[in-house]
Amino acid sequence: MYSIGFTSLLVIILCWKAYKLMKNKRNSGNFQEVDDELIIMLNEGEANG
Amino acid sequence: MAKQAVQLTKKNRTKFRFQKLKMCKKCNRYSVLKDHHCPTCGSTFVELDSLIKSIVRNKLFNEACLILILVCIGIVGAPTVKTLYYSLIAGLVFCLLYVVLTFFYFKSENFIQLKLLLRSDLSKIKSGIHYDTVLAEEEARDNMLSMAYEKYREIGDFILNDAIKLRQVKLLNDMILRSDMELEIEGLVPSGYDPDFVTYTLEAIKINRSLVTKKCIGYFVQFKEEVIRDFGMDSLITVAGTALRMKLYIMEFSEFIEEYLDYFPKERVLRLCSILHANPDINWGSLGDKTKSLVSVKYNYDPDFKRFVS
């Protein structure tokens, strides 16, 4: 009983970790997008001149 | 003020602009300059790539510690020797799978961490760049033109406003420009008319005609009247002449070229004729007709134009 409980706990942690990693992988775009986003954020509210 | 002869170093080039960001861990300040050491505390800057990797590594290390503690508790709490061995094997298999999993997704974790860091530290990055601007201003005031320009050049990759562009232009106008310098025009085109920019562009064209791009020609077309008023027609003839560099520019700015065609030197007319002659399938419109009539009137007996005169 103890072994089953312990193994189940480890499997749950592993599944949760895999889910989180896969979710992050799905949400990750490309570095060019991050680069463009940074430039937009830095120049927000910047008046020309 | 007499122009200064200076030596400019090559621009710091990276695949992505964020890779130029670095951080002083002691001052907790970002910088985009080429310096390797923080000007305030003297400690070495940490590049963003290394910073992200160390954050992800620390995160993984903390998780690994928690997992080991959990596995240890599981082993210690085992009621029998058999379950102790079972827990030990299960713990080891779990640790192995955990390491494989995180290793497999390490790149996307780095990416997510980078995104989070750039968002959370945006105000710090902004204030860091502002501090870099202050340093550049101080150097410009102290007449250290090349150093100030190089700083503004790096800042200009991140801050795209006219103020930064025009500060670079002003510094460039105080330098003696040479062909071995890494000059640019495209990135310095301001949104409004600026005589300093026009002065710099005309000077840079003399050194390297290939610096003139579509954006730059478009600027001269847009502010044609102001340029004629302040710099005379010769400047526009020069720019229109540089537009003959590429077939695409001729097609895009055919009206502009046509306007100044009569004033082109022979070499430029020859260049235009060769492009028109090499591309007979393209409809050049009135530019083609005007070039033909110019050649027949002005260069009809010139041997260089013999192949264009039918």
Whether the per-residue pLDDT at B55 is higher than 70: the answer is: yes
- Would you tell me how many other CB atoms lie within 10 Å of the CB of residue B255? 11
Class of residue B268 by CB neighbours under 10 A (exposed 0-12, middle 13-18, buried 19+): buried
What mean pLDDT do residues B79-97 have?
Answer: 85
- Smallest Cβ distance to A49: which of B91, B104, B163? B163
Residue B215 confidence (pLDDT) above 70: yes
* Strand B29-31, strand B22-24: pairing: antiparallel
Cα B272 → chain centroid: 31
Task: Give me the pLDDT at residue A46, please.
Answer: 60
What are B13's two structure tokens? Answer: 């080039």
ipTM attached to this prediction:
0.81
Using only C-alpha atoms, chain A has a radius of gyration, in whole angstroms, of 21
Q: What is the pLDDT of residue B301?
A: 80
Cα B135 to Cα B116: distance, rounded to the nearest angstrom: 28
B123 CA: distance to closest CA in chain A (Å): 9
**pLDDT of B73 over the 90 cut:** no
* Mean pLDDT calculated for residue range B67-83: 83
Predicted TM-score of the model (pTM): 0.83
Q: Does B192 touch chain A (CB under 8 A)?
A: yes
Per-residue pLDDT of A13-32, as tens digits, reads 889 888 888 888 887 778 89
Nearest by CB to residue A6, choosing from B90, B102, B115, is B90
Which residue in B60, B76, B160 has the most chain A C-beta atoms within 10 A of its own C-beta, making it the best mutation to test that interface? Answer: B160
- The C-alpha atoms of residue B52 and residue B106 are separated, in whole angstroms, by 11
The C-alpha of A49 sits at a distance from chain B's nearest C-alpha, in angstroms, of: 5
Which of A4, A16, A21 has the most B C-beta neighbours within 10 Å, making it the best mutation to test the interface with B? A21
Identify the bridge partners of residue B4 per DSSP, sorted by sequence position.
B175
